């Protein structure tokens, strides 16, 4: 039995991905987020909702911890674990802290699943890459086996760029709207343009610089735009932002 504590967006995506596959596992959900868990249980016959978090722990051999990092200590302090396998998707909480708040559990893995696990196309960094964590995420995509926790936290920092990606798309659509194009039409056009570009990356070992050169005809407008944003220091700002995120994660871990 797989137990899930904390069924937010990522927890629900994992449950959906596992349940859509062949021979889905039995899954027991914690009762919070009542609307979300009720919908999952109504949709998938392999999914049930427990009366409490402790009931999830008591009836599961593998526990997937998806609560907000800020709530980790308060939630875990109320639970009694035994020889469970724990998989944490909570950003920024290292193995040493997980061992403390989930004692006496020894089998612990950290994972960074993306929303695409819901449709079986996730690519999930995993540390340490042990069973049953590897088998779980292999069912809903593929796994990056990470050798050490420092490297794992660099993958975690990279996920901080997702919101900025949407802000970038919003900036383009707002520019179109400012030049007289209806906002709905601008958003639709930008969404379609980048959705098709993103779709071409599925299943590829993408070489981004090569793809850039394919789209940036010498003397063309794509090349011009790349040059302007480079001159304006955008790429340096990306590096600076990632460095700052990584340092913030390090500082937070030190304070745990």
The whole-number average pLDDT for the span 84-103 is 94
The answer to whether residue 192 scores a pLDDT higher than 80 is yes
Closest CA to 155 of 212, 114, 118, 108: 114
What pLDDT is attached to residue 201? 83
What pLDDT is attached to residue 197? 87
pLDDT-derived band of residue 147, with 50, 70 and 90 as boundaries? very high
Q: Domain 161-252 class?
A: mainly alpha
The β-bridge partners of 4 are 29, 64
pLDDT-derived band of residue 254, with 50, 70 and 90 as boundaries? confident
Per-residue CA distances from 72 to 67, 93, 106 (Å): 6, 9, 17
Helix 9-20 / helix 34-43 crossing angle, nearest 10 deg: 0
The whole-number average pLDDT for the span 151-165 is 95
What pLDDT is attached to residue 203? 67
H/E segment holding residue 169:
helix 162-178
The whole-number average pLDDT for the span 165-193 is 97
CATH number of 2-147: 3.40.50.720
The answer to whether residue 256 scores a pLDDT higher than 80 is no
What pLDDT is attached to residue 2? 97
**Is 65 exposed, middle or buried (CB count within 10 Å of its CB: 0-12, 13-18, 19+)?**
buried
Domains of the chain by residue range: 2-147, 161-252
Q: What is the pLDDT of residues 35-53, one digit of tens each?
A: 999 999 999 999 999 999 9
The answer to whether residue 179 scores a pLDDT higher than 80 is yes
Q: Which residue has the higher pLDDT, 127 or 251?
A: 127
pLDDT-derived band of residue 22, with 50, 70 and 90 as boundaries? confident
Percentage of residues of the chain with pLDDT beyond 70:
99
């Amino acid at each position: 039995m797989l137990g899930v504590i904390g069924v937010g967006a990522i927890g629900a995506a994992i449950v959906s991905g596992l349940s859509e596959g062949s021979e889905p596992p039995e899954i027991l959900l914690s009762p919070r987020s009542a609307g979300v868990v009720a919908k999952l249980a109504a949709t998938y016959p392999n999914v049930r909702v427990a009366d409490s978090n402790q009931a999830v722990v008591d009836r599961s051999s593998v526990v997937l911890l998806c609560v907000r990092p800020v709530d980790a200590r308060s939630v875990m302090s109320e639970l009694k674990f035994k020889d469970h396998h724990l998989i944490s998707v909570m950003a920024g909480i290292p193995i040493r802290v997980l061992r403390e708040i989930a004692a006496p559990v020894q089998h612990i893995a950290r994972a960074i699943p993306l929303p695409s696990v819901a449709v079986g196309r996730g690519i999930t960094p995993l540390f340490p890459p042990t069973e049953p964590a590897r088998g779980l995420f292999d069912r809903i995509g593929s796994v990056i086996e990470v050798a050490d926790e420092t490297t794992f936290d660099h993958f975690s920092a990279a996920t901080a760029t997702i919101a900025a990606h949407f802000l970038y798309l919003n900036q383009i659509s707002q520019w179109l709207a400012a030049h007289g194009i209806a906002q709905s039409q601008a958003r639709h056009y930008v969404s379609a343009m980048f959705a098709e570009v993103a779709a071409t990356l599925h299943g590829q070992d993408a070489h981004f610089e090569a793809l850039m050169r394919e789209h940036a005809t010498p003397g063309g407008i794509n090349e011009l735009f790349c040059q302007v944003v480079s001159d304006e220091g955008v790429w340096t700002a990306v590096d600076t932002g990632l460095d700052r995120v990584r340092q913030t994660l390090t500082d937070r871990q030190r304070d745990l």
